[in-house]
């Protein structure tokens, strides 16, 4: 019983671990020298993820927690929680429009799939509140115009982000601590993990293969141009700031309601994310197709001005990056997650990642698709085992598919 997993991010690690726990032999190949994909955390001294990252309570959180794969969890001190700021009409304010809260409490079942969020929300709470809510949800949509997305898609995310009690969970060591625990558990379960190993082609004779990469990489690997879905472009700006000794405290969060944008001081939840006397602040600003990374950085700096007084003189470390289609799937009006590229690609190939046909918020899509892909791959193994008496669609014998040791076409740096 052998399953190959291509990609060592959240989707690939989830699939590999789930398959190994069910008794399969698993080999995982990761092109990067380190596992984690977008869940990787920098080595330090500032422990930053690729953009603002939090877990939300739900099936993924519960699955990881049952296996002790989460590690220490940070908490938001009350003194920091009260420094949540909203940018409205260019100024920092302590409260959002009342209509935004009313929208967040609206029953999800009332939000239509085939109408854009801005149109539907305007009818519920008025144009000003609808636009503010659309921009607010940029925190998890990573899209320059969330109001143009399906009302059902945005409303589901709005309700979860504004849930009471809050569902956001912070890891003291960044997402990297969960990735390390998942990798360690996978190895203990017998998964063979190869890093710095890029897969360029699938072998002719093989067992089930789970392709847990970006859709762009999967298109190339599988030669399937249909593997496309709507994504976003986002400027990511990370700052390491020396703390102020006097004056008002930096804001914990600045949410831009004039346009999508988000700033969060992650070291408020864990001092281990930054050196002593410093803070780690991460911003994400979605940008339109005609805008550049520099345009997003400029808008991020405007939010820093509102939330981190004197930040320019305090910068000890800075990182600017552009995330293209690396922030999860976005559903346009008339589509749901079921319309995304299917997990089962036929002939023993299965797809996993954050832009495929699986439900959830942000990394939960990768998690759910990883579990589903693992389950389908295990089923394929059983159906092609010698005892089943069936043959795979490719015409190879069950033994050759389940026991082949033919290597993948790898390029090792």
Per-residue pLDDT, 409: 47
d(CA 132, CA 86): 10
| Cβ–Cβ under 8 Å, residues 364 and 56 | yes
Per-residue pLDDT, 158: 97
Residues 238 and 250 placed together within one structural domain of the fold: yes
Residue that finishes a domain, picked among 324, 348, 374: 324
> pLDDT, tens digit, for every residue of 181-213?
999 999 999 999 999 999 999 877 679 999 999
Residues 396 and 252 placed together within one structural domain of the fold: no
Per-residue pLDDT, 399: 29
Q: Whole domain around residue 80: which residue ranges?
A: 73-171+233-324
Residues 219 and 245 placed together within one structural domain of the fold: no
> pLDDT, tens digit, for every residue of 272-305?
999 999 999 999 999 999 999 999 999 999 999 9
Residues 217 and 243 placed together within one structural domain of the fold: no
Helical spans, DSSP H, in 201-284? 215-222
Place of tokens 């879905």: 229
d(CA 299, CA 261): 8
CATH number at residue 196: 3.50.50.60
Per-residue pLDDT, 394: 37
- Per DSSP, the residues of 1-16 read -EEEEE--BHHHHHHH
CA nearest to 348, candidates 5, 28, 29: 5
Residue that finishes a domain, picked among 324, 353, 386: 324
Domain count, the chain: 2
Low-confidence spans in the chain with pLDDT less than 50: 247, 390-407, 409-413
Residues 284 and 385 placed together within one structural domain of the fold: no
> Taken in order 167, 170, 176, 179, is the CA torsion positive or negative?
negative
Residue that finishes a domain, picked among 324, 351, 370: 324
Collapsed DSSP state (helix, strand, coil) of residue 148: helix
The pair of three-digit structure tokens given for residue 284, joined into one six-digit string = 């994400």
Collapsed DSSP state (helix, strand, coil) of residue 182: helix
CB neighbour list of residue 66: distance below 8 Å, 6 or more residues apart: none
Residues 130 and 31 placed together within one structural domain of the fold: no
Residues 195 and 158 placed together within one structural domain of the fold: no
């Amino acid at each position: 019983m052998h399953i190959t997993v291509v990609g060592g991010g959240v989707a690939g690690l989830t699939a590999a671990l789930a398959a190994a726990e069910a008794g399969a032999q698993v080999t995982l190949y990761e092109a990067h020298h380190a596992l984690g994909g977008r869940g990787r955390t920098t080595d330090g001294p500032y422990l930053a993820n690729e953009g603002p990252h939090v877990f939300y309570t739900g099936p993924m959180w519960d699955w990881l927690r049952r296996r002790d794969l989460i590690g220490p969890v940070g908490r938001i001190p009350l003194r920091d929680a009260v420094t949540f700021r909203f940018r409205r009409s260019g100024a920092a304010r302590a409260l959002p429009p009342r209509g935004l809260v009313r929208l967040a409490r609206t029953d999800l079942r009332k939000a239509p799939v085939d109408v854009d969020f801005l149109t539907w929300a305007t009818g519920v709470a008025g144009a000003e509140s609808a636009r503010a809510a659309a921009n607010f949800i940029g925190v998890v949509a990573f899209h320059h115009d969330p109001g143009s997305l399906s009302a059902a898609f945005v409303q589901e995310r709005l309700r979860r982000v504004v849930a009471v009690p809050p569902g956001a969970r912070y890891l003291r060591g960044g997402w990297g601590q969960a990735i390390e625990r998942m990798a360690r558990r996978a190895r203990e379960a017998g998964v063979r993990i190869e890093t710095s190993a890029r897969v360029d082609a699938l072998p002719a004779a093989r067992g089930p293969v789970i392709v847990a990469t970006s859709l762009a990489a999967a298109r190339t690997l599988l030669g399937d141009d249909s593997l496309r879905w709507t994504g976003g472009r986002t400027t990511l700006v990370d700052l390491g700031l020396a703390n102020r000794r006097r004056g008002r405290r930096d804001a914990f969060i600045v949410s831009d309601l004039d346009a999508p944008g988000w700033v969060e001081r992650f070291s408020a939840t864990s001092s281990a994310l930054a050196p002593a006397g410093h803070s780690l602040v991460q911003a994400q600003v979605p940008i339109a197709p005609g805008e550049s990374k520099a345009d997003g950085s400029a808008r991020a700096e405007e939010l820093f001005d509102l939330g981190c007084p004197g930040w320019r003189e305090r910068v000890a470390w800075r990182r600017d990056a552009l995330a293209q289609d690396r922030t999860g799937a976005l559903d346009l009006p008339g589509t749901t997650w079921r319309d995304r590229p299917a997990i089962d690609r036929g002939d023993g190939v299965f797809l996993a990642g954050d832009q495929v046909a699986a439900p959830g918020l942000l990394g939960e899509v990768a998690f759910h698709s990883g579990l589903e892909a693992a389950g389908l791959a295990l089923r394929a193994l059983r159906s092609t085992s010698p005892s089943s008496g069936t043959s795979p669609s490719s015409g190879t014998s069950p033994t050759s598919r389940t026991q082949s040791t033919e290597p993948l076409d790898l390029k090792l740096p």
